[in-house]
């Protein structure tokens, strides 16, 4: 049974509202690397790439599915790099 069984329909609905794509458990990764459940919604909004990622907490030797991380990402690719602050 998937830990996401009760909310997958809500994630599908949110992805549709955002005009994004819901991916489940990293389907493009090799099977051997897919050892934990994960959900991710990716979309583009006004040229900004955005994502919501829900995944277990990664510890030294295991992905701990008793603790979950909700990660929000936004990336704007303007074609320029910048130096790191010192």
What is the total count of domains within the chain?
1
Angle, CA of 73, 76 and 81, to the nearest 5°: 115
Domain with 36 in it: 8-75
List the one residue out of 66, 48, 53 whose CA is nearest residue 23: 53
pLDDT tens per residue, range 3-54: 899 999 999 999 999 999 999 988 887 787 777 889 999 999 999 999 999 9
Give the model's pLDDT for residue 85: 60
Asked whether residue 83 is domain-assigned, the answer is no
The SS3 assignment for 79 reads coil
- CA distances to 1, 15, 24, 26, 74 from 19, rounded to whole Å, are 28, 6, 17, 19, 15
Residue 83 scores a pLDDT above 80: no
């Amino acid at each position: 049974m998937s830990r996401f069984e009760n909310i997958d329909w809500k994630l599908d609905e949110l992805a549709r509202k955002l005009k994004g794509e819901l991916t489940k458990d990293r389907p493009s990764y090799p099977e051997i690397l897919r050892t934990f459940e994960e959900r991710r919604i990716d979309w583009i909004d006004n040229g900004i790439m955005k994502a919501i990622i829900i995944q277990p907490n990664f510890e030294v030797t295991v992905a701990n599915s008793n603790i979950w991380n909700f990660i929000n990402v936004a990336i704007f690719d303007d074609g320029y790099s910048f130096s790191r602050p010192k």
